[in-house]
Amino acid sequence: MQNQSHTVENSIPLIVLVGPTGIGKSDLSLKLSNYRNIELINGDSRQVYKGMEIGTASPTSDDKKKVPHHGYQILEPDQTYNLSDFLKTTKTYIYEIIDRKNIPLLVGGTGQYIWALLDGWIVPNIPPDIIFREKLEALVNREGPLKLLSDLDKIDPITASTIDRNNIRRVIRALEIYHSTGIPMSELKKREPTPYEPTIIGITSDDRESLYSIIDNRVGKMIDNGWLSETNDLIDKGYKFNLPSFSSMGYKELHGVLNNEIELTDAILKIQKLHHKLARRQYTWFKVSDSRISWINKNNNELNKALDIIKTM
């Protein structure tokens, strides 16, 4: 249970490890755990799902034996998980880790989740309106996203100006919240003081092309490690590929391979490009110019530099 004795005045130490997909956040977090009494918390919206470990680059069972992991592979692919769920569970994990006299290390690439926690967003837990959501999804499938984007511009221009307009699932969620409450999502995102004293470490690469090369190699390794078989197992279990969990890049493309709709080599190229796009989007959340983040360069003695950053904790 969450220990209510912790207050804003007695700040809670929290390490946060951020950066683009494929950059090595999970590997560095495991290395850091060899030097400090650390427990890891998931800050990725897709690594919560079971049976999707390869496609979401979730920690392996061997990884989880080395150091305690929290919030990974806790839901079935057809269960919902949103920002409100993340905040509730992550706050509980943090307090429990602190009560064990350990340091929580939040590892993630989902920028909205990370900043919502650190900036103290108060997010109401509004249950999904499945009928309304399916209506909007059908509209997008018929006519494209422009009508939805126009509607969001009208009812909530603040959210419309900051939301990832390519992420139609989030656009639909913003419209869904307004439909359910009559209040724009931007007005519901109040803020409160937080009890955390975060040390934020960002991992980056020399340049965009070297990052893309890292990503491309990782996608290839994921295929070699059985991503296609993992996708087939999910199909055999009867999961529908319009579920939010399958917005993780690659599953729909591999589903197409299994249905003989696309060649594997073409699917791999498409998946690599989708991951490039994700990395660019993550840099809009985690800006190299952000003074709150201590940036270190991958393959440039990053472990020692990260240890130097957290040595006073």
pLDDT, tens digit (0-9, with 9 covering 90-100), for 38-89: 999 999 999 999 999 999 999 999 999 999 999 999 999 999 888 889 999 9
DSSP H or E stretch at residue 102: none
- Cα 152 to Cα 161: distance, rounded to the nearest angstrom: 9
- Domain 130-188 falls in which CATH fold? Histone, subunit A (1.10.20)
Strands 190-191 and 121-122: antiparallel
- Cα 258 to Cα 281: distance, rounded to the nearest angstrom: 29
Count CB-CB contacts under 10 A for residue 284. 10
Contact 278, 21 (CB under 8 A): yes
Contact 61, 67 (CB under 8 A): no
pLDDT of residue 10: 57
- Helix (H), strand (E), coil (C) string for 227-277: HHHHHHHHHHCCCCCCCHHHHCCCHHHHHHHHCCCCCHHHHHHHHHHHHHH
- Cα 244 to Cα 79: distance, rounded to the nearest angstrom: 9
Tokens (6 digits) for 52: 């999707």
Strands 293-297 and 103-108: unpaired
Tokens (6 digits) for 256: 């197409």
- Cα 274 to Cα 304: distance, rounded to the nearest angstrom: 32
Pick out the chain residues at pLDDT < 70.
1-10
Strands 293-297 and 38-42: unpaired
CATH superfamily of 12-122+195-204+287-310: P-loop containing nucleotide triphosphate hydrolases (3.40.50.300)
DSSP, collapsed to helix, strand or coil, labels residue 57 as coil
The domain limits of the chain are: 12-122+195-204+287-310, 130-188, 208-280
Residues 148-157: pLDDT tens digits?
Answer: 999 999 999 9
Could you tell me if residue 176 is left (phi over 0), alpha (psi between -120 and 50 degrees) or otherwise beta?
A: alpha
Contact 89, 23 (CB under 8 A): no
DSSP H or E stretch at residue 61: helix 61-66
Contact 28, 302 (CB under 8 A): yes
pLDDT of residue 1: 40
- Cα 156 to Cα 196: distance, rounded to the nearest angstrom: 30
Cβ neighbors of 295 (< 8 A, separation 6 or more) are 201, 202, 203, 204, 288
CATH C-level class of 208-280: mainly alpha
Cβ neighbors of 225 (< 8 A, separation 6 or more) are 54
- Cα 176 to Cα 135: distance, rounded to the nearest angstrom: 11
Measure the CA angle with vertex 282, ends 277 and 283; round to 5°. 100
